[in-house]
Amino acid sequence: MSWELYGYGRETTPFASGEEKLVKFHALTQSNTTHKSVPMLLTPANAENYELLYRCKSIITLFKECGFKSVFLTNHSYNQTFMERYFNEADISISLRENAQHNYDYPMVDSLTNILQQDTTSNMFIVMHLYGSHFNYQERYPEEFAKFKPHKAETISPAYKQELVNSYDNSILYTDNLLRKTVELIDRQSCKSAMIYTSDHGEDLMDDRRKRFLHASPVPTAYQLYVPFIFWNSDKYLQSEASKYNSIVNNSEYVISSNEVLFHTMGDLASIRSPYLKEELSLCSPNFINKEPSYLTDHDGSIFIEKLPLKRADRQLLVKMGFLSGNQ
């Protein structure tokens, strides 16, 4: 993972690495594809019960039905997908793609600023679906974030590996600064607030002699599985919900399945109660139960990551990082 926060050797996340109120988790995704991973993040569905996608409401509706104004900001195009349905559930839904001059995510913060200025009284639940570090990486940030150079690859080839890595790292730096701007904006509201950031999947960047690139391969690599998962809360949230924060910190020692815990953790952070919210899957609960990481197969079945037919290099890397036991 190209995040300085997680031990990467480049300064790609100066904000996240220095923010004292941020708690990081080591997380594995349950799918290396956006169209499956994101819906699982936003619903109670996960690798073990993926069919829930077809009969459960999303986290947007969960918060709406509990009196929150829901906001969905996206830099993606949705074409009759689950994500389009969730996007349309929100009270306020804004797509940057409608009149986009570029693929940058920053205008999302501007949209959020306007929303918060126009409504200073409502409880809000906000989803920001960034384009992030999807290829083509060099198109994900303006030139002032081209810290690592050269960064313009002419083609996808091992000959341009350094350019591809540099542009990917620049996109992470850009996302880190967007997180800084978002946190500063929320902090200025002086309200009780909490935020979780995660990614839908990781990425291959020709990391080893196999020269694998991108994601969504039938069998994932270790690089596609490992994703950032970070928590932040305001001072007012910490003051009133110290027990939840303490549970977050205590549970950060576990390796988690991001898709399995996000829905339940967000609901619990807002003290929502629902038959679909499970306390044992909430990271802010003292009753959180750490489960063995699982993965959603191409045929929508569930398999423990330990049992995946991983290549030796991927298994060894996951064992080295402490994510697998080393026993097959």
pLDDT per residue, tens digit, the chain (328 aa), is 899 999 999 999 999 999 999 999 999 999 999 889 999 999 999 999 999 999 888 999 999 999 999 999 998 877 778 888 999 999 999 988 766 667 898 889 999 999 999 998 889 999 999 988 888 888 899 999 999 999 988 778 888 889 899 999 999 999 999 999 999 999 999 899 999 999 999 988 877 788 777 777 888 999 999 999 999 999 999 999 999 999 999 999 999 999 999 999 999 999 999 999 999 999 999 999 999 999 999 889 999 999 999 989 999 999 988 888 766 5
* pTM higher than 0.85: yes
pLDDT given at position 41: 96
- Domain of 81 in residue numbering reads as 4-320
Query: Which alpha helices (H) appear in 69-200, and where do they start and end?
Result: 82-89, 107-118, 161-188
User: Is 36 within a domain?
Assistant: yes
Residues shown for the chain: 328
Return the pLDDT at 215: 75
* pLDDT on residue 99: 66
For 117-153, give one letter per residue: b (16+ CB within 10 A) or e: eeeeeeebbbbbbbbbbbbebbebbeeebbebeebeb
Q: Is residue 325 part of a domain?
A: no
Is the Cα dihedral 196, 202, 205, 209 positive or negative?
positive
Core vs surface per residue 26-51: b (16+ CB within 10 A) or e: bbbbbbbbbebbbbbbbbbbbbeebe
The first and second tokens of residue 48, run together, are: 């073990």
Q: How far is CA 287 from the centre of its chain?
A: 23
Classify residue 242: in a domain, yes or no.
yes
What pLDDT score does 289 carry?
96
pLDDT at 322: 85
Please check whether residue 55 lies inside any domain of the structure.
Answer: yes
In a domain, 326, yes or no: no
What is the CATH number for 20?
A: 3.40.720.10
Q: How many domains does the chain have?
A: 1
Identity of the residue numbered 134: H
Three-state DSSP class for residue 233:
strand
- What pLDDT sits at residue 170? 95
138 domain-assigned: yes
Question: What's the pLDDT score for residue 326?
Answer: 67
Which DSSP category does 43 fall into?
Answer: S
**What pLDDT sits at residue 328?**
54
**Residue 89 belongs to a domain:** yes
* Residue 178 maps to a domain: yes
